[in-house]
């Protein structure tokens, strides 16, 4: 018994606390509660692995006129010609003997936006951190302080990432509009790539518009809706979108990765980008 004492002490909290019904299982749920977190881990991990590889690759992100959303705006002098919409304020940066890929300069913003998103918080707290893995399934941690301490307290600043996200959405919309050019730079053409980038921008706007911080800023912070009829109206619209925030979160995430993949493919095989006109 002795060696198990430590574990027992650790376990003597939560559902095993003194005074609560003596039940030895950490959950009595009979359904497959672990499937949801497993799928979430699977999808998020695949995205992380793919995005990391692509960010390190530092190539095949531009195939005139298409630019990968992972690399837009391209801000470094290492960017391939024609890909920098906003100029190149960053020079040739070398870290650990490797040239810094332009993706890393901007990565923090979309990453921070998603990491602090109220929906993704639920997703990763449940699946990666298992706190809790599913409802009424005891979590494995002995201590819990939620979002009251660093680093998780940063989640309270979600709105700032939301505002920066709007800038990114605007830039990616411009990228989609530029895709109405042909590789020779003439306007009035449309290809599969145009559709891919337009959908990408649309999903990202949907993701931002349905954001909880957006809902709050638009009207949620008011006490007297009756004094602000327009904001109230806007709030009801955002509230309706907000109910679909989870869907926007997944669709936009997957589509960003797909858009990048598509641009990579076109950069390797230009004929893949079929032009409709």
- Site membership for another protein, residue 14 (CB under 8 A): yes
Q: How far is the CB of 105 from another protein (least distance, A)?
A: 24
Minimum distance, C-beta of residue 80 to ligand FES, in the bound complex (Å): 31
Look up residue 221 and give its two tokens.
């912070």
The tokens describing 149, both together, are 């301490």
By CB under 6 A, is residue 60 in contact with ligand FES?
no
Tell me the window of 21-29, 114-122, 173-181, 193-201 that interacts with ligand FES (CB under 6 A). Answer: 114-122
Q: Which of 48, 98, 153, 237 binds another protein (CB under 8 A)?
A: 153
**Residue 15 contacts another protein per CB under 8 A:** yes
- Residues that contact ligand FES, how many (by CB under 6 A): 9
Q: Give the footprint of another protein on residues 207-236 (CB under 8 A).
A: 212-213, 215-216, 220-226, 228, 232
Burial pattern 40-74, b for ≥16 Cβ within 10 A else e, equals beeebeebeeebeebbeebebbbbbbbbbbbbbbb
Q: Which is nearer to ligand FES, 134 or 241 (CB)?
A: 241
Residue 220 is classified by DSSP as: I
Tokens 């954001």 locate to: 211
Kindly state the smallest distance separating residue 205's Cβ from ligand FES, in Å. Answer: 12
Interface pick for another protein out of 21, 94, 95, 150 (rule CB under 8 A): 21
List, in order, residues 6 or more apart from 68 with CB less than 8 Å away.
54, 61, 62, 259, 260, 263, 264
Taken in order 136, 141, 143, 145, is the CA torsion positive or negative?
A: negative
The continuous run of DSSP H or E covering 94 comes out as strand 94-95
Q: State which of positions 219-248 bind ligand FES (CB under 6 A).
A: 245
Q: Collapsing DSSP states into helix, strand and coil, what is residue 264?
A: helix
Task: Report the distance separating Cα 80 and Cα 78, nearest Å.
Answer: 6
Residues 118-137 within binding reach of another protein (CB under 8 A): 118, 121-122, 125-126, 131-132, 135-137
CB of 276 to another protein, least distance (A): 41
Q: How remote is the C-alpha of 230 from its chain's centroid?
A: 30
Distance between CA atoms of 171 and 238, rounded to whole angstroms? Answer: 22
Three-state SS at 138: coil
Selection from another protein, ligand FES, none that 47 binds (CB < 5 to 8 A by kind) is none
Residues that bind ligand FES (CB under 6 A): 117-119, 158, 162, 211-213, 245
Residues that bind another protein (CB under 8 A): 13-15, 17-23, 27-31, 118, 121-122, 125-126, 131-132, 135-139, 141, 143-148, 152-153, 156-159, 212-213, 215-216, 220-226, 228, 232, 242-243
């Amino acid at each position: 018994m002795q060696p198990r004492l430590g574990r027992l002490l650790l376990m003597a909290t939560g559902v095993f606390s003194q005074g609560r019904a003596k039940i030895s299982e950490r959950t009595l749920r009979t359904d497959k509660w672990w499937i949801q977190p497993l799928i979430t881990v699977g999808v998020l991990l695949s995205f992380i692995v793919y995005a990391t590889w692509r960010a390190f690759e530092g190539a095949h992100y531009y195939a005139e006129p298409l630019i990968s959303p992972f690399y837009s705006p391209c801000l470094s002098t290492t960017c391939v010609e024609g890909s920098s919409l906003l100029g190149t304020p960053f020079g040739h940066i070398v870290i650990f003997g490797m040239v810094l890929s332009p993706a890393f300069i901007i990565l923090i913003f979309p990453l921070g936006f998603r990491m602090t998103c109220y929906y993704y918080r639920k997703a990763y707290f449940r699946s990666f951190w298992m706190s809790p893995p599913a409802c009424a399934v005891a979590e494995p941690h002995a201590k819990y302080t939620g979002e009251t301490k660093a680093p998780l307290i940063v989640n309270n600043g979600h709105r700032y990432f939301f505002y920066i996200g709007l800038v990114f959405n605007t830039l990616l919309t411009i990228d989609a509009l530029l895709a109405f050019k042909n590789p020779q730079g003439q306007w009035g053409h449309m290809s599969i790539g145009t559709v891919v980038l337009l959908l990408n921008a649309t999903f990202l706007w949907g993701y931002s518009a349905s954001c909880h911080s957006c809902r709050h800023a638009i009207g949620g912070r008011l006490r007297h809706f009756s004094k602000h009829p327009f904001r109230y109206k806007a709030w009801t619209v955002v509230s309706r979108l907000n109910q679909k925030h989870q869907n926007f979160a997944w669709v936009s995430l997957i589509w960003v990765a797909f858009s990048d993949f598509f641009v990579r493919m076109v950069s390797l095989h230009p004929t893949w980008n079929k032009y409709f006109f």
